[in-house]
Structure 1
Amino acid sequence: MSVFDEELFLKGLEQRKSTLGAEYVEKNLASADDFTRPFQEAMTAWCWGLDGGDDGH
């Protein structure tokens, strides 16, 4: 995690696990290679971390 804000990533990770299930998310992150890891991190931080969570937005 060098490119993304760690706090945003962790917020996104929590939301992603809550929605998709921890086992599924952890499996995807663990199987990411040097090419796909940045995409996993970006989607977790930006798509899950910036979405506002479950507050109706």
Structure 2
Amino acid sequence: MPFTASDIIKLILAVFLPPLGVFLERGCNADFLINILLTILGYIPGIIHAIYIIFKF
């Protein structure tokens, strides 16, 4: 699967606002809620989870 411009935008958003990057990729589901929880508990785990969700095939 090629790397698109929307992936770059989602990656940038995932670094600054991890839940927003996950929301744009998956919508409002369990992944989004998990990411909100991880971001509240620690910013870095939220970023890691968001990047994982964005690049998961």
Q: TM-score higher than 0.5 here?
A: no
Structure number with the bigger relative contact order (C-alpha 8 A, sep ≥ 6) is 1
Pick the structure with greater CA Rg.
1
User: When you count helix as a share of all residues, which structure comes out higher?
Assistant: 2
What TM-score do you get using the length of structure 2 for normalisation?
Answer: 0.36
TM-score (norm: length of structure 1)? 0.36
